[in-house]
Structure 1
Amino acid sequence: MIEIISATALATVQDLGRHGSLGYGVGTSGAMDNLSLMLGNLLLGNAEGDAAIEIPLFPFQVRFLEDCAFAVTGAACGATLDGQALPPNWVAQAQAGQVLKLNYPAAGSRAYLCLAGGVDVPQVLGSRSTQLRGEFGGWQGRMLQQGDRLPAGRPGLAGATDFGVGLAARALPLEVDGVPAMRVLPAAEYDCFSEASQAAFWAGQWKITTQSNRYGYRLEGEPLLPKQPLEIRSHGIVPGVIQVPHGGQPIIQMRDAQPSGGYPKFATVIEADLWRLGQAPIGSHVRFIPCSYEQALDALEANRAFLDATRRLLTLHTL
């Protein structure tokens, strides 16, 4: 069991998301960087989709109330356990009373605190992810607060600890002119926009504005303008869809996106690259790369190959 001793807001319990309920108006939620979540669970020998704590604001501190193995993945946040530095993507053993502190990231924007056996909160509609808008799932359906106590699924002393693996961003790099990039598929209304706007989307850098959160990333750049005014009925949307409001500044739907919306769909960030977007800090710039459906599937396979290679390394480590 751990106790939250930080007053920093916005940390939530997340797993790989709530699937199969979009038809009932329930969004997916889930980790903004699912690759880091799966990596942390892999380090601990957990099930791939076990719940963890997603931390987007720093510093963040927890106290272990009982012995428990843990892993910190995602953003390189200079983690310390009772002042002892821990490398990124590292699994360690905490003893009762020790304090884990996550500092401001040197790279990335979200860290994941994974506990042995996962964060043990009830499942709601097949997931432990926090659904903030609906106020259910996770820990009491809300952001974590100072004084909250969350149990681990498998507390106690662990086997092999004090080891780690490389950062996903280094193993799976993707940049354009030194700017982090995401691969994108054109969406239903792409051809309704002017050729100049289409070209500007691919050629420009897009700033992630301060109006961004788990629901959506609002971008700032050259306005994307349709060839003529568009009136569209509300329709189903999923995380990754890039919609364009009347002002021309696009919005990328993120993990807490509502399941429907009426803005034109310009494009979609592929599922394999949503973790990259989840690690892009507010105020930073990103680029977009066109890809095909086949390339999107290949990208998913590359992510899986990274996890499989990590699993083989961990097997050798524990022999």
Structure 2
Amino acid sequence: MITVLQTQPQNTVQDLGRFGYRELGVGTAGAMDDVALQVGNILLGNQHDAAALEIQTFPFVVSFDEARFVAVTGANAKLDLSGQSFLPWTLKRVEAGQTLTICRPTVGARMYLCVQGGIDVPAILGSRSTQLRGGFGGFEGRFLENGDVLKTGDGPIRRSLYGALPPGQRLEQLDPEKGIVGLRVIPATDYFRFPEHARHRFWNTGWKISPQSNRTGYRLKGEQVLPDKAVELRSYGVVPGIIQVPPSGEPIVQMADANTAGGYLRIASVIEADLWRLGQAPVGARIRFIPCDHAEGIAAMKAVTSYLCDLMQITGLYQGGTQHAPTGCFLTL
């Protein structure tokens, strides 16, 4: 078991999300950086969608009641295991009684504490993710609190310690300039309701993630992007990645806890393959949108899948399951 010794609001139990219930008003929830969560689970030999702790406020401190393997992925932060430092994106054995401290990241926004066997909380509607709006899933449907005790499941015992190269080092670099996060987006249904000068501004503004951002949506600050004329739309289905433009003219990107329906104009949508990049962009970061078509979006998702599959094959080597594993995303410690 794991005992939470120090935490702040916003830290929750998440897996890859809850699918198939949006028509009932139940969003997917799930990890803001699903790639980081999957990498941690692959390193541990867990099911790729095993539940982990998503940490976005720091410091975060837990103690372990029994020996376990862990992997901490996501952002770049100092990790301290009872006085011993170790690196993110690596497999680490924790002994009973040891304390793990995850400090504030120097790069990125969220860390994922993945544990051998996963976090053992009840699966509700097919997922262990915390649904904050509905108050269910995860650990009692809420943020973690000091003193919470979390059970872990059964998982394989690793015979070697190793790590993965982060996706930012393996996947295509998109940053248009230093200090700006590039995101590939596809124009959406209402794109041509905006005049040419507004569309130009949308692509060329270095949008700033405002403090009014959370797991539901990222509100962006910058020059207004307004349509030719005011338009009222009927509500439509909403999924993570959709970029809506409210009457203020400042876009909102729907995130993991996205609303299930909405009526603001849809100017574009972040491709699925880049949502993890946005999930690691902290408040105050600047982002820029890069035009993309459907074919490019599919190709980008194939690159993410290939990265994860390579890692699965390589870690299989250490279980005797793979004779010829690809290289390039793996590090032996």
Q: TM-score range by the shorter chain?
A: over 0.9
Offset of residue 159 of structure 1: 2.5
Which residue identity does 2:289 align to in structure 1? F
1:79 aligns with 2:86: no
Query: Which runs of no fewer than 5 residues in structure 1 stay unpaired?
Result: none
Q: Is the 8 A contact 2:44 2:70 kept in 1?
A: yes
Which residue identity does 2:123 align to in structure 1? Q
Give the match for residue 297 of structure 2: 296
CA distance in 2, matches of 1:59, 1:317: 33
Q: Is the 8 A contact 2:71 2:88 kept in 1?
A: no
Tell me, what secondary structure is at the counterpart of 2:295? helix
Superposed CA offset, 1:71-129 (max 9, x none): 10001111111111111201111111100111111211100001111111000110000
1:184 aligns with 2:159: no
CA distance in 1, matches of 2:86, 2:52: 18
CA distance in 2, matches of 1:68, 1:100: 12
Q: Is the 8 A contact 2:90 2:161 kept in 1?
A: yes
Tell me, what secondary structure is at the counterpart of 2:296? helix
Number of residue pairs matched by the alignment? 318
CA distance in 2, matches of 1:292, 1:98: 49
Tell me, what secondary structure is at the counterpart of 1:272? helix
1:162 aligns with 2:161: yes
Give the match for residue 174 of structure 2: 174
Offset of residue 318 of structure 1: 5.3
Offset of residue 269 of structure 1: 0.5
Superposed CA offset, 1:259-295 (max 9, x none): 0011111110011110000000111101111111111
Give the match for residue 268 of structure 1: 269
Q: Is the 8 A contact 1:68 1:154 kept in 2?
A: no
CA distance in 1, matches of 2:108, 2:159: 27
CA distance in 1, matches of 2:123, 2:104: 31
Q: Is the 8 A contact 2:184 2:270 kept in 1?
A: yes
Give the match for residue 43 of structure 1: 43
CA distance in 2, matches of 1:243, 1:295: 22
Superposed CA offset, 1:193-242 (max 9, x none): 11111011111101000000000000011111101111111111101000
Q: Is the 8 A contact 2:7 2:58 kept in 1?
A: no
Q: Is the 8 A contact 2:203 2:290 kept in 1?
A: yes
- RMSD, aligned CA: 1.2
Which residue identity does 1:171 align to in structure 2? R
Q: Is the 8 A contact 2:160 2:318 kept in 1?
A: no
Offset of residue 317 of structure 1: 4.8
CA distance in 1, matches of 2:185, 2:159: 40
Offset of residue 69 of structure 1: 1.0
Tell me, what secondary structure is at the counterpart of 2:6? coil
Which residue identity does 1:22 align to in structure 2? R
Q: Is the 8 A contact 1:88 1:167 kept in 2?
A: no
Offset of residue 59 of structure 1: 1.0
Runs of 4+, deviation exceeding 4 Å: none
Which residue identity does 2:89 align to in structure 1? N
Give the match for residue 285 of structure 1: 286
Give the match for residue 117 of structure 2: 117
Q: Is the 8 A contact 1:17 1:127 kept in 2?
A: yes
CA distance in 1, matches of 2:311, 2:106: 23
Written as runs of structure 1 = structure 2, the 5 A alignment for 1:8-27 is 8-27=8-27
Give the match for residue 105 of structure 2: 105
Superposed CA offset, 1:6-52 (max 9, x none): 13221100001000000101001000000000000000001111110
Offset of residue 180 of structure 1: 1.4
Tell me, what secondary structure is at the counterpart of 1:5? strand
CA distance in 2, matches of 1:104, 1:166: 21
CA distance in 1, matches of 2:312, 2:48: 11
Which residue identity does 1:276 align to in structure 2? R
What TM-score do you get using the length of structure 2 for normalisation? 0.93
Query: Which runs of no fewer than 5 residues in structure 2 stay unpaired?
Result: 321-333
Cα 1:159/1:7, change in 2 over 3 Å:
closer
Cα 1:161/1:148, change in 2 over 3 Å:
farther
